[in-house]
Amino acid sequence: MAYFVVSYFGDFVIENLFSTGLSGLGDRMKDKIKALLKKRNAIMLAHNYQPPEIQDIADLCGDSLELSIRASNTEAEVILFCGVHFMAETASILSPQKTVLLPRHDAGCLMADMITAEGLAAKIASLPPMPVVTYVNSTADVKALSTICCTSANVVQVANSLDAKEMLMTPDRNLAMYAASQTEKKIHVWDGYCPSHERLKPRDVAAARDAHPEAIFMAHPECRPDILEIADVIASTSGMIRHAKDSEAKSFIVGTELGLLHPLKKANPDKTFFPASDKMICKNMKKITLDDILRSLKNMEGEVKVPEEIRKPALGAVERMIALSK
């Protein structure tokens, strides 16, 4: 007998269908995917916010840039990226000789879409000469106009590495304000944001803490300043996984997209994790399905290729950031 369990997160609905028959179909689909990955000499990447069934069959899971760097160092000829469009672009920037597939071309990023190359060029022209620091959660053509890229984990290090008193930081205003609070540099802020993180309000955290008073509250730097002010720990998704593993604490409230709960639980089976809010869900991160992956690999559909005239300057911005960690 099959039955549905339906969970509501705001206006988004996740449906989980459980049945012995469909479970068998799912296993056969996963076997087909694994066979095609081998046939195509492909590596499958899954971001930490992807659905559990996709994370569980991926070759690598993690943060977007981390995945692209690791994939670039493999012998794989094809990179199948389960994430959103800018992530596949970054993989193409770092691995131009490889074929990069995104199973759903409509899997975009609302924050990345809040800035365009034309808009950035106009902003640069309106300011005195200064470095442009761009979050990796951005399109390739925006990266191409930037001095250096940053991640949520290294944004403060990147800001402090620049020999300038002022800089423009794009596209995430919350990440930029967080960096400004941690450095003496003057940071001009682009007014973009991640809707999933923006939804988290102090009252949500208060309710979660009332329900779980013993739990440590971890917040992503994409959260609003009034959230970061009350966080016990501020960290990227990979940083949260590391902190939970190293901490003596046994329970955590997680202030980021709900998909991270799965790798947190896998890495720490003896610990408990609670969402700061069930509204922190990214629809675009949930678009890719096993069917999409199978179709993409079978037909080699969904290729993402960054043109060389954009790739080369974008690569420079990414490589300048990577060099800081060497």
For 177-226, the pLDDT digits (tens) are 999 999 999 999 999 999 999 999 999 999 999 999 999 999 999 999 99
- Cβ neighbors of 296 (< 8 A, separation 6 or more) are 80, 101, 102, 103, 302
What is 118-158 written as a DSSP string? HHHHHHHHHS-S--EEEESSS-HHHHHT-SEEE-TTTHHHH
pLDDT at 12: 36
Return the CATH number of the domain spanning residue range 112-193.
Answer: 3.40.50.10800
| Residues 187 and 167 sit within 8 Å (Cβ to Cβ) | yes
**Residue ranges in the chain whose pLDDT is less than 70:** 1-25
pLDDT at 25: 60
What is the second-level CATH architecture of the domain 196-281? 3-Layer(aba) Sandwich (3.40)
pLDDT at 251: 98
Domain 3-107+285-299 grouped into CATH 3.40.50.10800: yes
pLDDT at 20: 37
Residue range(s) of every CATH 3.40.50.10800 domain in the chain: 3-107+285-299, 112-193, 196-281
Record the tokens describing residue 173, joined without a space: 């205003």
pTM (2 decimals)? 0.90
Bridge partners of residue 80, in order along the sequence? 44, 101
pLDDT at 15: 37
Separation CA 306–CA 200 (nearest Å): 34
